[in-house]
Chains A and B, each alone.
Chain A
Amino acid sequence: MNGLPGLYATVMKAAVQTQFQYRTANYAYMLGMVAEPVVYLVVWSAVAESRGGSVGGITAGEFAAYYIVWTLVRNMNIVLTPYAWEDRIQQGELSGMLLRPVHPIHYDLAFFAGWKVVVVLLWIPIALVLSVAFRPTFDISALEAVVFLVAIWGAYLIRSLLLWALGMITFWTTRVSAIYDVYFTAELLLSGRLVPLALLPAWAGGLADWLPFKYTFGYPIEVLAGSLSTRELLTGLALQAVWIGFGAALVAAVWRVGIRRYGAVGS
């Protein structure tokens, strides 16, 4: 295979091989990640219990389903962190990337996509243990399953593109951690990562509809763990496509300006 598909195949294969070697490290990362949804789950289950079984129409079993799917979606959302850009620019790695005849984002997209193969394999036992411990209630139709499989990759693309664009701020300043923090906090609160969006106050829920974060967490999770209508399922996919388009345009625009800046300043 040649061209872009060939590149993706090769880089993904390399990613699977390297990440499989680091399976113990990968597992430790994943276990650390599990702590977060377990805490949310425990807290909301307790709240549901104190209210006689459900909060905002969500039962303890549905919370369990939500946060177990959460763990898979969270893993799909692991992409190049914006912090990696500092190293990339300082160590001159970026100069090497610029010499290749392909846009560097393809390497990252392919690499992290390949990594997912390993992650999903490692995720299965974690999901089983969580299911035994928290007894989720699932009701999945064939359409939901198909939409979910598409939606998690949509989420992956949206988050990859947005964080790539964000990371490029490093071209202008290295003191970026505060900006990243703001982004991650907004994401935490308005994506469905912290709580199902239905539990947010109405104004916050309305705000979330107009931001991309929802399409990287809440939407894919609810496809599987919630009860969305067919119309909602498909509109969600369409809006994911819109955000992917937006992300791609953003990356292209920032990249063009950023690289000019990089060329002028050097490393």
Chain B
Amino acid sequence: MTALRLAGTFLRIGILNELQYRVNLVFSLVQSAIAVGTSLAVLALVFGNTDSLRGWSAGELLVVMGVHVLVGGLIRSVIQPNMQQLMEDIQRGTLDFVLTKPADGQLLVSVRRVQIWQAVDILVGAALVVVAVVRLPATPGVLDVLAFAAALALGAVSIYCFWLLLTTLAFWVTRLDPLVELFEGMYQAGRWPVSVYPGWLRIGFTVLVPLAFAVTVPASALTGRSTGWLLLGSVAFTVALATVTRLAWRHALRRYSGASA
């Protein structure tokens, strides 16, 4: 409850401030339009040559792309800004100020920043999903939509955990920006359902970079592919990853304060 209130206060302040820089909205819109346009061009190219890609139709892949854009917007507006700030704090020693605050450290470092204009992609992605779903031959039922929402929330948590794990490395490694770059490269792969990839890559994209749980599983729910088991797997994976992340964070802090040395 306090966590929510804290996050709410931070979010409100961040948004109020970003509202001053309204020009950025235009730039985010241009960026978003270009990204979506490119994706559509790629889809058109692929489906100019074939009717189905490993069992996914053009309309179904549009759903996947919509979810990909949506989650990408979530990453760029909330997750990445916070993690970049954390990285800077670790490098400059200003993390000390976080640790002398009477609130949970992990919570604090995760809610401090928000880049609201990047959230345009969340809306654009959602719109894309809606348009794609409406045009599908089989309209998903209420249960499917609920499964989609649940899978999306779980996927978002997984991606957040993955980013925090990555950022925690900053306690050991001085130059992290290449890793961030690496992740961004990998994230582009999520534009396609993970089942397109050969086995070893599919495992990597599922477990190492949780693209499967963040993008493919939610999209599966809307395209009549999800089973209860898939959702259950997503729950188990998210819980496991969140636990590992929590432990890694505490371990890193203990190391930072010289307790484990």
Point out residues on A near B: beta carbons under 8 Å. 22, 24-29, 31-36, 38-39, 42-44, 46-47, 50-51, 55-56, 133, 175, 177-178, 181-182, 185, 188-189, 194-195, 199-201
Asked if A28 contacts B182 (CB within 8 A), the reply is yes
Asked if A200 contacts B45 (CB within 8 A), the reply is yes
Does B94 lie at the interface of the complex (its beta carbon under 8 Å from any beta carbon of A)? no
Name the CB-closest residue of B to A194. Answer: B42
Most buried by A among B49, B54, B192, B196: B49
Asked if B175 contacts A22 (CB within 8 A), the reply is yes
Asked if B182 contacts A178 (CB within 8 A), the reply is no
Asked if B185 contacts A33 (CB within 8 A), the reply is yes
Asked if B185 contacts A35 (CB within 8 A), the reply is yes
Q: How many A-B residue pairs have CB under 8 A?
A: 92
Residues of A within 8 A of B46 (CB): 43-44, 47
Asked if A42 contacts B201 (CB within 8 A), the reply is yes
A9 CB, min distance to chain B CBs, angstroms: 28
> Assuming A50-B51, A133-B198, what are 17 further A-B pairs, CB within 8 angstroms?
A22-B175, A24-B178, A25-B175, A29-B182, A32-B182, A32-B184, A35-B188, A39-B191, A42-B196, A43-B196, A46-B53, A47-B49, A50-B52, A178-B27, A185-B34, A189-B38, A194-B45
Does B247 lie at the interface of the complex (its beta carbon under 8 Å from any beta carbon of A)? no
Does B30 lie at the interface of the complex (its beta carbon under 8 Å from any beta carbon of A)? yes
- Jot down 17 A-B pairs with beta carbons below 8 A, ordered by A: A24-B178, A35-B189, A36-B188, A39-B191, A42-B197, A43-B53, A43-B196, A50-B50, A50-B53, A50-B54, A55-B49, A133-B198, A177-B31, A181-B31, A182-B34, A194-B42, A194-B45
Q: A47-B46, A178-B30, A199-B45 are in contact. Are A32 and B38 (CB under 8 A)?
A: no
Point out residues on B near A: beta carbons under 8 Å. 23, 26-27, 30-31, 34, 37-38, 41-42, 45-46, 48-54, 175, 177-179, 181-186, 188-189, 191-192, 196-198, 200-201
A51 CB, min distance to chain B CBs, angstroms: 6
Name the CB-closest residue of A to B195. Answer: A46
